[in-house]
Amino acid sequence: MESQKQSGPEPPIKVSTINCIDLSNPDIGESVALLKQACLDCGFFYVVNHGISQEFMDEVFAQSKKFFYLPLNEKLKVLRNEKHRGYTPMFDEFLDPDNQVHGDYKEGYYIGVDVPENDPESEKPFNGPNVWPADGVLPGWRQTMEKFHHEALEVGKAVSRIIALALDLEVDFFDKPEVLGKPIATLRLLHYEDQFSDPAKGIYGAGAHSDFGFITLLATDDVMGLQICKDKDAKPQIWEYVTPIKGSTLHRVLGNGQDRYSIAYFVEPNHDCLVECLPTCKTEKSPPKFPQIRCSTYLSQRYKDTHANLSVYDKHQA
């Protein structure tokens, strides 16, 4: 089922205003205040002057498009495995099953921290060797993505230091070996097809969801589509578009009939890191609301809840 443009006057487009964090700003106090307000307001903020050049970002997007332009049978040769490495076909992810009629109208590609199979660490969830298209198919593709993965992790760590200060913690709180020493850091290339979303019919580029990790860095092209909801408990919910800018909570993606590309980078703590209420966020009168849980245990369950079972692709691999 495909959605179509509705007849009649178009409803006014609501565009959100969100704070911008400049990582080159020498006034760290200003950055901390802006980030803290953004997190209290909606959980989203722009990041600029992060050290990744616009020329390189353009190259990463160009290489991403080259992969998604490949025929489906070629992309299925690098199908997502149980370690969440490789290609995720259209509808593979189901982010809002209560309101969606089928999975997200997007395809993607997962790239994680590369861990050789003979390394004992490869036995852990989300660890293992990456899956790559053959060099003859996309020359230089792997090298571009490996370089971006490395540079994006440094940006994530820089943002984590500002988050730490905003939480009244030591600046290096999240830099500790037991937190981000060996992070679960995942790059995901995304392509939304040129379809029209129709929330009334349960059709979305990406269903409404809150990311379930520590930090998500998101680079987008110039096509509008990302929306955020600042109050998930509001009736009705109010959704606002986020304007793409160069260099750059509950959210979703609406297709507007144009192909749209984005690049997500998920920064999560070490596998064995215990996720628990931070020391500055609890008191005797306000104890933790949730029990502690191991990072990899939590992430494994969330990925299982939102992705198709790999057995549905058996026919493609026969």
Q: What is the pLDDT of residues 81-95, one digit of tens each?
A: 988 899 988 766 555
CA-nearest of 97, 93, 94, 132 to 112 is 132
Tokens linked to 300: 């494994």
Asked whether 81 and 161 are in contact (CB, 8 A), the reply is no
- Does residue 1 fall inside a structural domain? no
- Cα separation, 130 vs 234, whole angstroms: 41
N-terminal to C-terminal alpha carbon distance within the chain: 28
- Cα separation, 212 vs 209, whole angstroms: 9
pLDDT at 311 over 90: no
- Does residue 41 fall inside a structural domain? no
- Does residue 89 fall inside a structural domain? yes
Return mean pLDDT, the chain: 82
User: What proportion of the chain, given as a percentage, has pLDDT over 90?
Assistant: 54
- Does residue 23 fall inside a structural domain? no
Domain total of the chain: 1
Q: What is the mean pLDDT of residues 35-59?
A: 92
CATH, residue 199: 2.60.120.330
Global pTM reads: 0.83
pLDDT at 255 over 50: no
- Does residue 10 fall inside a structural domain? no
Q: What is the pLDDT of residues 150-192, one digit of tens each?
A: 999 999 999 999 999 999 999 999 999 999 999 999 999 999 8
- Does residue 11 fall inside a structural domain? no
> By residue range, what is the domain housing residue 91?
54-315
pLDDT for the residue numbered 210 = 64
- Does residue 229 fall inside a structural domain? yes
pLDDT at 75 over 90: yes
- Does residue 12 fall inside a structural domain? no
